[in-house]
Amino acid sequence: EEFEPVEAARPETPVKPMTATEVKVNVSIPEAAERAAATGADGVGLLRIEHMVLSLGKTPEKYIADHGAQAYQDELIEGVRRVADEFYPRPVRVRTIDAPTDEFRELEGGEGEPVEPNPMLGWRGIRRSLDKPEPFRQELAAFARLHEMGYDNLEVMFPLVNDAADVEGIKRHMREAGIDPETHRWGVMVETPASALQIEDLAEAGIDFASFGTNDLTQYTLAVDRNNGHVADRFDELHPAVLRLIGDTIETCRELGVDTSICGQAGSKPEMVDFLVEKGVSSISANIDAVRDVQHEVKRTEQRLLLDSVR
């Protein structure tokens, strides 16, 4: 008697709606890479490296002094590679370090950190990286090495950029690290009102994408500390002033051929998704648990816009 092979039962693959707007996922720890990739997201819109760095227990400067620059690079390569591997060839946007001084002060070597009255308005993100570039150089060198290893799906993103002068500093360091800003895909977070208002200058300086960091953009636009419970009820990412900055930036970026994205928490909110898709955002990056809902919300909004356009 003929043996009829029966196809093994497969686990249900999630039905991912086809959308024109890409839906990506935020990843903060390398261990979450597998779960993030299984969402069917179109890539990683924000890979944070703060956890990889802070979990070393020492400030980056102290770690490099004790173990050498190569060891710091290797730590980053190991963490980022895990995510780049899991998603390949889907793009992964890795961001250079963005921790405030009060978080670095908790670490070994942190006693040298300045005590700032307002760390969120202080020495963090690209400001620190450009002022004290040794760890920054090693971060870029790690990304360059990963690229050499074949991970051409990596894109680099820079936090807390204000203006074209910041971008010029970034480009200089990219070139020195062997990352050609003309051929690699890279971009900046738009998370200060200054960057939104000067997006034309940033585009002219050569960015490929702008990604809205709505956690900070809301905090800085409304002057509402994102970590202060006393004003938590005033922290509104859908405030008209915030939406105006985002909407105008998307419009300008579309004219100039710069991709736009969101990687703040608000990207997981349906109202923000509707607003962004209507404005023509290129991609939305959501929390792992929200990706499915965002995919469907994007689909619904795109279908509604299509129907409206033929009416």
Q: Which residues bind ligand PEP (CB under 6 A)?
A: 46, 48, 98, 191, 213-216, 263-264
Tokens of 157: 């993103």
Which amino acid makes up residue 271?
Answer: E
Mention every residue, 6+ apart, whose C-beta is less than 8 A from residue 10.
none
Q: Is residue 213 a contact residue for Mg ion (CB under 5 A)?
A: yes
In the complex, least distance from residue 150 CB atom to ligand PEP, rounded to whole angstroms:
28
Which range in 34-42, 43-51, 184-192, 202-210 contacts Mg ion by CB under 5 A? 184-192
Q: Which does 124 bind (CB under 5 to 8 A by kind): Mg ion, ligand PEP, none?
A: none
User: Considering beta carbons, is residue 158 or 186 the nearer one to Mg ion?
Assistant: 158
Coil/strand/helix, residue 183: coil
Least distance to Mg ion, CB of residue 191, Å: 5
Residue tagged 């370090």 (tokens)? 97
- Comparing C-alpha atoms, which of 13, 24, 7, 8 is closest to residue 260? 24
Alpha helices in 44-184, H assignment, sequence order = 50-54, 60-67, 69-87, 101-104, 126-131, 133-148, 164-176
Residue 264 interacting partner from ligand PEP, Mg ion, none (CB closer than 5 to 8 Å by kind)? ligand PEP
Measured between alpha carbons, how far is 235 from 259 in angstroms, rounded to an integer? Answer: 27
CA angle 307/248/280 to nearest 5° reads 30
Nearer CB in complex with Mg ion: 24/58: 24
- Binding span for Mg ion by CB under 5 A among 26-34, 37-45, 203-211, 213-221: 213-221
CB of 97 to ligand PEP, least distance (A): 10
Q: Which is nearer to ligand PEP, 104 or 299 (CB)?
A: 104
Tokens of 242: 């915030």
Find the binder of Mg ion among 166, 216, 237, 297 (CB under 5 A): 216
Handedness of CA 28, 215, 22, 268 (dihedral sign): positive
214 binds, among Mg ion, ligand PEP, none (CB under 5 to 8 A by kind): ligand PEP
Kindly state the smallest distance separating residue 115's Cβ from ligand PEP, in Å. Answer: 21
Positions touching Mg ion (CB under 5 A) are 191, 213, 216
